[in-house]
Structure formats: structure tokens, C-alpha cells
């Protein structure tokens, strides 16, 4: 039995007991938008928690997400089942809420605690009737994101980020009154985990993630979590290479170009974050020389800023390493392609890359972010060279065992010898010749 069939059974049993079951939240919104949403949320009105628990126990293994919150699951089904509740913030950053279950609260008061009108609609599970107390259907049709209630909306500052990511994901505009209230909300009390989740939704689901940041800027909500991104505004670039404008404009264009290609990435989140942070170094190195703006070595000088930014948002060490690696190398692919560089040079670049395929994608996005209406000629060159790189590294190569077989005892000198052998490997030297050259190098350097 699938989730909707189980939802139907729950609703039937609820109805038999005198209650009503409604789909609520995103599943109602997405159905009206013609979007797929496998996550179902049901709210049961008119029955006590004891009555609801009794019903669920007849249908499967009931699991309690939080008894005091009146939220349940059925094992094997992706359905959140909840009782209507009243809640009031008693602390900062959505960390402390006073929650009281109230099965008789009614649909209007239950919906009033939700964030946006498009998320406050309810659908009777049995009849399909849409209950819409706050004109959510009209806002949805007009592509407007509007908060439901002035007093309750401001209790959770995460809603500022949710507004921005919904705007980006759905291409909606945010109502002026919602922007105004968001400007009054302080995001400093939020946890990094909650902020990062909203950022990921914008980066991985929005067609134009730039809208997320443009919306946050309009809401004056970037000065806590996205300081470095905000600092990109107004930083000028060499118009010869960047006719699109300042670094902010370029970064937003690169970000949207990356969204078009993220389905091709080995690590989509690393690619998107790489697109966002790749030019942070321009914040600290950009200089005007003889009327021309330059940002020499920004790909290296920006690494401390990138590390600081990512540490503020996440503890995923491998992800941070991947993003830093992409940012440090992001200029090389286009430079080497432009120079028709040697195989040795491209092999060396790909050897330094943690995910070579994603490095190519970032370089292509960097080109797309310059506003130049021209086909990218670098891609064919880079993909051909990546093929050669993989063919090269799959061939036999000099290892520590080969040095031992040559009579060289293990020691600290092994590292330098193997590093030299690795350079020969990237240059395409066959194993037998590479071993001879490595041994000759060791004798010359008095390592053996």
C-alpha cells in the first residue's frame, strides 16, 4: 500500500470516529502547482491524541516523533501525522516554543500558525475539498509569497531564509509587507544546521539560485551568515574579461549557470558552493592599476575567507575540502585550454583536482558568468584531456614495492623518490623507463 492509499485509510477511520483528516503544507501546495511531492503531512481535527493513537495502532506500528507535539509516524510510510496545536515562542531562534495540542482549534486557527499563505492551505483527504482561509490559492496563482500572520511569523527568523529559498525554487516574488517584516528579524540566533539546510534547498533545487541571494539582499538579511557574499557587491572587474559588471553580478550568473549543470556533477552541492565562493579572493586582492582593475592570485588569497564562510555553515569536512579544492583550481582549466597547454600540464591539473569532472563544470560556469554570447570552446579540449588523464593513471606505475625490488630499503627518502616517479607518470613516461629515471634521480641526489 502506498502513502496516499494509507492516508485514505487513516482518514476513513478518523471520519468514522467523528473527526476529519486534512493534507496540509507543501503537499497541498505542490499538488496545485502540478509538482511531485512524495512527503505527505496529515493533520487530524476533532479527535483526542488517545483516539488518534488507537486508530494508528490498528493500521501499523505507530512511532511518536514527539508525544508532547502530537506528531506520529507509521513505520514503513513516509507520512507525518499530527494533531492541530497552538504554539508560542518563549525563546530565541525557534529553540524554545510552548506547544499545546488542541484538537478543537478549528482549521482557520490551525492554519494561522503556518508561515506563508501558499503553505496554509488544507485539503480534505476524503473529499479533496481545499480549505483556504488566507487566499493562498490566489497568491499561488499570482506567484506571490506572502506571510500569514504578522505576530506569529516573526517568532521564527528561519522564515526569512525560507522566504528566500521558496522565492528561488518557485520563481516567486515576495510581498512587500513580507519583505518589510523580514527586515526586522534577527538571524543570529539560528543554528548553522538550520541555515545550511535552507541554503542547500536553494542551491540544489532552484532553477536560479541567484534569486535566493537577491531576495536576502532586499530583505537586508545577509549580514550574519552571508557576509562574504554580500561583500562581493560593488567590487569592480576588468571590463575586458568581465563585461557583465561587478563580482556580485558575475557570481550570481555563475551560480545560475552551475544550476543548469549540477545534474552532471559528481558532487552537486560542492559544485554549487564552489560557484558561490570561487571569487571570494577578489574581496581582498582587487586593485586598480592605471585605470584597470586586477585581482591577481585571488584563487589562492580567497581560501581563508572561503574556509571561514563554510565553517560558519557546516561541519562536513570532506565537503569543505572539495569546495576549497575547486576554488583554488577554478582558473586553471580555462587558462590551459586557452593556451592549448601540453598533456603534462593538464594531467598535473587533473591530478590536483579531487573531482576533475566537477572542476571542468565550474570552469565552464565561470565562462558562462561573463555575459558573453559565444559557444564555449574549452569544453571539448578539457574533456579530451580528462580522457587522456584517466588513460594515463590507469597504466602501471612505479610504487614502493618496485623500489624495494630494486634493492632500495624503505625510509624517509621514499617520499621524494615516489613523488619524482609520480611526475614522470603524469608526463606519460612508461613504468620501466620511469623506474630507471627515478633510480638515476635518487643516485644523483644521493638519496640511494
CATH code at 118? Answer: 3.30.460.10
Angle (deg, nearest 10), helices 303-313 and 192-205: 110
379-416: pLDDT as tens digits: 999 999 999 999 999 999 999 999 999 999 898 889 99
Per DSSP, the chain holds a count of helices (H) and strands (E) of 24, 13
Contact, 350 vs 358, CB < 8 A? Answer: no
Looking only at the bridges linking them, the beta strands covering 79-82 and 40-45 are: parallel
Average pLDDT over residues 309-320: 98
pLDDT for the residue numbered 36: 85
- Residue-range definition of the domain harbouring residue 426: 400-444
204-225: pLDDT as tens digits: 999 999 999 999 999 999 999 9
163-175: pLDDT as tens digits: 999 999 999 999 9
Same domain, 84 and 24: yes
* pLDDT reading at 88 higher than 90: no
Last residue of a domain, one of 78, 97, 132: 132
pLDDT level of residue 29 (50, 70, 90 thresholds): very high
Nearest to 227 by CA among 304, 161, 303, 309: 309
Same domain, 247 and 289: yes
pLDDT level of residue 290 (50, 70, 90 thresholds): very high
pLDDT for the residue numbered 91: 56
Same domain, 250 and 354: yes
Same domain, 366 and 234: yes
Same domain, 326 and 414: no
Strand locations in 190-239 (E): none
- Give the DSSP letter string of 169-202: HHTPEEPHHHHHHHTT---TTS-HHHHHHHHHHH
The phi and psi torsions of 389 (rounded to 5 degrees) equal -60, -50
* pLDDT reading at 93 higher than 60: no
Same domain, 422 and 366: no
pLDDT level of residue 101 (50, 70, 90 thresholds): confident
The grid cell for 354 is 579531487
Q: Which helix (H) or strand (E) holds 316?
A: none
Last residue of a domain, one of 132, 159, 186: 132
* pLDDT reading at 69 higher than 80: no
pLDDT for the residue numbered 247: 98
In a domain? residue 73: yes
CA dihedral 433, 439, 445, 448 (to 10 degrees): 170
In a domain? residue 189: no
Average pLDDT, the chain: 94
pLDDT level of residue 201 (50, 70, 90 thresholds): very high
Same domain, 337 and 411: no
In a domain? residue 13: yes
* Total count of domains within the chain: 3
Percentage of the chain beyond pLDDT 90 is: 88
Percentage of the chain beyond pLDDT 70 is: 96
Same domain, 123 and 46: yes
pLDDT for the residue numbered 75: 94
Same domain, 327 and 407: no
pLDDT for the residue numbered 65: 80
Same domain, 282 and 416: no
In a domain? residue 145: no
pLDDT for the residue numbered 377: 81
In a domain? residue 254: yes
321-369: pLDDT as tens digits: 999 999 999 999 999 999 999 999 999 999 999 999 999 999 999 999 9
Residue pointed to by grid coordinates 627515478: 438
pLDDT level of residue 86 (50, 70, 90 thresholds): confident
pLDDT level of residue 90 (50, 70, 90 thresholds): low
Most confident of 16-30, 34-48, 62-76: 16-30
Over 134-171, what HEC string results?
CCHHHHHHHCEECECCHHHHCCCCHHHHHHHHHHHHHC
Same domain, 333 and 422: no
In a domain? residue 349: yes
In a domain? residue 93: yes
In a domain? residue 168: no
Last residue of a domain, one of 117, 132, 147: 132
Contact, 335 vs 247, CB < 8 A? Answer: no
pLDDT for the residue numbered 371: 77
Same domain, 343 and 431: no
Contact, 200 vs 268, CB < 8 A? Answer: no
**CATH, residue 323:** 1.10.3210
Average pLDDT over residues 421-437: 96
Average pLDDT over residues 249-268: 98
Amino acid at each position: 500500500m502506498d502513502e496516499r492509499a494509507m492516508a485514505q485509510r487513516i482518514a476513513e477511520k478518523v471520519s468514522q470516529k467523528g473527526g476529519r483528516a486534512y493534507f496540509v503544507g507543501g503537499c497541498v501546495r505542490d499538488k496545485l502547482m502540478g509538482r511531485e511531492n512524495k512527503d505527505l503531512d496529515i493533520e487530524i481535527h476533532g479527535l483526542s491524541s488517545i483516539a488518534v493513537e488507537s486508530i494508528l495502532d490498528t493500521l501499523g506500528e505507530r512511532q511518536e516523533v514527539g508525544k508532547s507535539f502530537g506528531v506520529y509516524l507509521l513505520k514503513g510510510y513516509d507520512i507525518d501525522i499530527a494533531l492541530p496545536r497552538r504554539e508560542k515562542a518563549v525563546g530565541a531562534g525557534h529553540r524554545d516554543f510552548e506547544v499545546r495540542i488542541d484538537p478543537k482549534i478549528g482549521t482557520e486557527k490551525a492554519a494561522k500558525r503556518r508561515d506563508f499563505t501558499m503553505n496554509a492551505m488544507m485539503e480534505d483527504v476524503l473529499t479533496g475539498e481545499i480549505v483556504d482561509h488566507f487566499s493562498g490559492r490566489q497568491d499561488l496563482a499570482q506567484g506571490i509569497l506572502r506571510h500569514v500572520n504578522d505576530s506569529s511569523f516573526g517568532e521564527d527568523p528561519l522564515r526569512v531564509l525560507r522566504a528566500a529559498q521558496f522565492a528561488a525554487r518557485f520563481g516567486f516574488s515576495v510581498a512587500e509587507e513580507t519583505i518589510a517584516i523580514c527586515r526586522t528579524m534577527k538571524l543570529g540566533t539560528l543554528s548553522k544546521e538550520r541555515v545550511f539546510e535552507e541554503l542547500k534547498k536553494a542551491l540544489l533545487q532552484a532553477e536560479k539560485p541567484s534569486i535566493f541571494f537577491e531576495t536576502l539582499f532586499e530583505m537586508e538579511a545577509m549580514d550574519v551568515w552571508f557576509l562574504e557574499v554580500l561583500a562581493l557587491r560593488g567590487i569592480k572587474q576588468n571590463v575586458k574579461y568581465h563585461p557583465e559588471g561587478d563580482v556580485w553580478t558575475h557570481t550570481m550568473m555563475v551560480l545560475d549557470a552551475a544550476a543548469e549543470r549540477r545534474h552532471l556533477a559528481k558532487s552537486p552541492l560542492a559544485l554549487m558552493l564552489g560557484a558561490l565562493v570561487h571569487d571570494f579572493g577578489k574581496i581582498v586582492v582587487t586593485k586598480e592599476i592605471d585605470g584597470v582593475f586586477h585581482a591577481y592570485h585571488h584563487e589562492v588569497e580567497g581560501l581563508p575567507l572561503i574556509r571561514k564562510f563554510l565553517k560558519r555553515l557546516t561541519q562536513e569536512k570532506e565537503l569543505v575540502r572539495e569546495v576549497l579544492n575547486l576554488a583554488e583550481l577554478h582558473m586553471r582549466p580555462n587558462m590551459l585550454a586557452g593556451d592549448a597547454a601540453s598533456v603534462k600540464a593538464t594531467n598535473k591539473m587533473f591530478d590536483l583536482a579531487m573531482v576533475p569532472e566537477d572542476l571542468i563544470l565550474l570552469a565552464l560556469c565561470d565562462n558562462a558568468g561573463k555575459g558573453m554570447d559565444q559557444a564555449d570552446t574549452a569544453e571539448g579540449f578539457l574533456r579530451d584531456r580528462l580522457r587522456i588523464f584517466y588513460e594515463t593513471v590507469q597504466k602501471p606505475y612505479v610504487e614502493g614495492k618496485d623500489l624495494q625490488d630494486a634493492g632500495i630499503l624503505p625510509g624517509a627518502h621514499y617520499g621524494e623518490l615516489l613523488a619524482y616517479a609520480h611526475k614522470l607518470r603524469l608526463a606519460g613516461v612508461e613504468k620501466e623507463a620511469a623506474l630507471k629515471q627515478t633510480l638515476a634521480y635518487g643516485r644523483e641526489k644521493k638519496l640511494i
